[in-house]
Structure 1
Amino acid sequence: MLELLSLLSFGENGWGDDIARGALVTIELALATLPVGLAIGLAAALAKNSNSAILRAAGNLYTTVFRGLPELLTLFIVYYGGQMLLTRIAGMLVEGATIEVNQFVAGVTALGLVLGAFSSEVFYAAIRSVPRGQTEAAGALGLAKWQVFRLVVFPQLWRVALPGLSNNWLVLLKDTSLVSVIAITDLMRQTSIAVGVTKQPFFFYLVACLIYLVFSMLSSVVFSRAEARASRGLKRVGGKA
């Protein structure tokens, strides 16, 4: 057992520093993807709730496509397809020009599109939960549409959407493991390298499992506090808010 634990030591003789760097990349990737996915999801939800038939169709098409595609396929399309598209555009401007897509940016983009598709459903349901009478009353008071959304709708939809968004975040944490296929040195890739060198798959994959579980537990604590903060000021009467 001590021999196995020594494999996690830091320095040239251990893999502890490599696993730690991979875990850091995983968290950086997830945190970079979160605002991208939430912004896309909120925009798609607003489009689906719009009075414009074109915007509603576009929002529904987006969510249908990226909720239906496997995450790994989305990652390949963004990474390889995006590289081909940008190279072709660059070739039109400068003959012979090529563009290489950064793996981290491709990972953030692909995972952001997937997160946005699932988050749009959460946001859409939350928007629909806000009573129409409140928005009509706010408009009657002379507030512009963006003010109605910022002051009346968003604070309420955020509280309703948080539980669903917390689930999406946990899914995102797990989906970050997919980026190892495009050579991002995240936790999963560093673990796979360690397994290949040491021939200790059970030990290192168990360590990776524990790290992902720690991330999930810490995330649950953060989101629980966020939900409590978003619900502050609500009084419960007879068990109901």
Structure 2
Amino acid sequence: MSGLFAGFYSILSWIGSIVDPFCGPVGVFTWLAPGTLLACGDTGWGDDIAHGFVITASLAIATLPVGLLIGFFIALGKQSEERTVRLASNIYTTIFRGLPELLTLFIVYYGLQILVQQLLASLGYDGPVEINAFFAGMIALGVVFSAYCSEVLLSAFKAIPHGQYEAGDALGLHRGRTMRLIILPQLVRIALPGLGNLWMALLKDTALVSVVGLTDILRQTGIAARVTKQAFEFYGVACVLFLILAMISSIVFSYIERRTKRAEMGR
């Protein structure tokens, strides 16, 4: 079985090397930067920077559903009839909107290590414990994103007339089905512009994770800049890569907005 997984991983790696937009056979660095500091292989930093680009994009994409899910439930909690639930939701958003993102990252990265270490020590394990930087970054950025996301979703909830819920009740729909079939489509359409802005902020915040050792765009270009003493060139490349991510994101969100508007008009 392990041999099967190893073979499958080798096939995926081979496919990835072929379609790699940076260092693949038709990659940007392969064609435009041979013999330079951005060349792929042992002669340049192209492979390292391409890997950093993948890590940055993967971190943002992995963080998005975590932040959306938590933010959705926090927004529901702020509308709860239970006073304690509303209070807990408001405290959550106040904390994570008030703390700097970098401080939240440090608390999650080092705090989780301490908690896990103490938990394992109570079970008799005295070995070292290290939290994965990608996981810590996803959790830290996810809770910060969710705090802001909950405010956007809360505003979207308030923009939906209460009669929509009553219409679902009149049709005999359970509140869960009313939420899924009636409320959520409208919620997405209303909240999408605000969520798009939060996504852009999330993309920029991924650079913070470089301080805990994650090999993202900023860390890889920073290492290359220190080694080669060509800071302007490599940080300029980092700017271009972040702008590419922002442009792709803008195109995707514009497409989603057009689709939601067409779906709304088609009703």
Partner of 1:125: 155
Superposed counterparts of 1:31-42, under 5 Å: 31-42=61-72
Gaps of 5+ in 2: 1-31
Calculate percent identity across the aligned residue pairs: 53
Give 1:38's aligned amino acid: L
The question of whether the paired residues in 2 share the 8 Å contact of 1:180 and 1:186 is answered with yes
**Cα displacement string for residues 20-55 of structure 1 (whole angstroms, at most 9, x for unaligned residues):** 111110001111111101101111001111111111
CA distance in 1, matches of 2:149, 2:112: 23
Per the TM alignment, residue 138 of structure 1 is displaced from its structure 2 partner at its CA by 1.1
The question of whether the paired residues in 2 share the 8 Å contact of 1:4 and 1:203 is answered with no
Q: Alignment partner of 2:262: what SS? A: coil
- What RMSD in Å do the two structures reach over aligned CA positions? 1.8
CA distance in 1, matches of 2:131, 2:33: 41
User: Which of these residues, 47, 53, 58, is aligned with residue 17 of structure 1?
Assistant: 47
Superposed counterparts of 1:30-179, under 5 Å: 30-179=60-209
CA distance in 2, matches of 1:186, 1:205: 13
Q: Alignment partner of 2:232: what SS? A: helix
Q: Alignment partner of 1:184: what SS? A: coil
Partner of 1:197: 227
Residue 182 to residue 8, structure 1, CA distance change in 2 (3 Å): same
CA distance in 2, matches of 1:51, 1:140: 22
Partner of 2:38: 8
CA distance in 2, matches of 1:146, 1:137: 13
User: Relative CO higher for 1 or 2, CA cutoff 8 Å, sep ≥ 6?
Assistant: 1
- Runs of 4+ aligned residues of structure 1 deviating over 6 Å after TM superposition are 2-5
Give 2:197's aligned amino acid: N
In the alignment of these two chains, the number of paired residues is 235
Per the TM alignment, residue 234 of structure 1 is displaced from its structure 2 partner at its CA by 3.5
Per the TM alignment, residue 98 of structure 1 is displaced from its structure 2 partner at its CA by 4.5
Per the TM alignment, residue 93 of structure 1 is displaced from its structure 2 partner at its CA by 1.9
The question of whether the paired residues in 2 share the 8 Å contact of 1:166 and 1:223 is answered with yes
Q: Alignment partner of 1:171: what SS? A: helix
Residue 20 to residue 232, structure 1, CA distance change in 2 (3 Å): same
Per the TM alignment, residue 113 of structure 1 is displaced from its structure 2 partner at its CA by 0.5
TM-score scaled by length of structure 1: 0.93
Gaps of 5+ in 1: 237-241
CA distance in 2, matches of 1:28, 1:38: 16
**Cα displacement string for residues 9-30 of structure 1 (whole angstroms, at most 9, x for unaligned residues):** 1111111111111111000111
Q: Is 19-28 or 87-96 further displaced after alignment?
A: 87-96
Partner of 2:9: none
Partner of 2:56: 26
**Cα displacement string for residues 73-105 of structure 1 (whole angstroms, at most 9, x for unaligned residues):** 000000001110111112112252543211111
CA distance in 2, matches of 1:4, 1:69: 44
TM-score scaled by length of structure 2: 0.84
Q: Alignment partner of 2:214: what SS? A: coil
CA distance in 1, matches of 2:129, 2:39: 39
